[in-house]
A = this chain, B = another copy of it.
């Protein structure tokens, strides 16, 4: 089953557009858990377990595991294996290199680590993205307009629109999406006009303070999955005590409800 079919099935079954990012920082893990590889995995699996009913997709961020070295990458691999198979996994890796190196990154994220989808960076152009898009059963979210202040340096005012246009052209297998931040909802309408129908992975709600209502309004394209709303820290670190997982679950449910309420009022 392709990533987007699996995602559609999940969204239809659970009525959720929520993407939970898994970005574990050692220092923020509740003190009662062991300060070890096992403790880290337990922290993440408890988060997965308590949030999973409210989640369309999980998104582990490779940076946080790489910082821990080979043993961190082992945790990442085991985590992905243990996420329930009906929930798709986006490898948040922001990869992109010249063709032969991108092929290795695609192999790493899709085969070695077993992710259903990936985030990639477009700076190197078509031959950097093609090795990812060449997996028709996997999803490829290309950075378009990101939620950080640095989006002003190169992406705005025009580059992000050029990226949206090119990704639409390159999306031959229908497995591409775009990363579009929620912190500039006024820009989303123009991106949607250029990209046509494709799912957006939308970070920037929560800690970064993006505007949910306007984001959903402008990102909608009338399809089953116009977007996934991604949040990490507000769920992962909802509590630093023994109830961290339950609090994560409660926060995830609230955000799921908030998104659905916004959708029904658009």
Query: Interface on A for B, CB 8 Å cutoff?
Result: 23, 61, 63-64, 66-71, 73-74, 77, 94-102, 104-105, 107-108, 111-113, 121-129, 143, 146-155, 159, 162-163, 166, 203
Contacting pair B146 A121 (CB below 8 A)? no
> Interface centre among A95, A129, A162, by most B CB within 10 Å?
A95
**Chain B positions within 8 Å of A96 at CB level:** 94, 121
Nearest chain B CB to A77 CB, angstrom units: 6
**Chain B positions within 8 Å of A73 at CB level:** 66, 69-70, 73
**Chain B positions within 8 Å of A98 at CB level:** 146-148, 150, 203
Known: A121-B121, A153-B166. 16 other contacts (CB 8 A): A23-B100, A63-B104, A63-B108, A67-B104, A67-B112, A70-B71, A94-B101, A98-B150, A124-B146, A124-B151, A125-B148, A125-B151, A125-B155, A154-B162, A154-B166, A159-B159
**Chain B positions within 8 Å of A112 at CB level:** 66-69
**Chain B positions within 8 Å of A69 at CB level:** 73, 77, 108, 112-113
**Chain B positions within 8 Å of A102 at CB level:** 63
Instruction: Return the contact of A67 from the options B61, B108, B146, B154 (Cβ within 8 A).
Output: B108
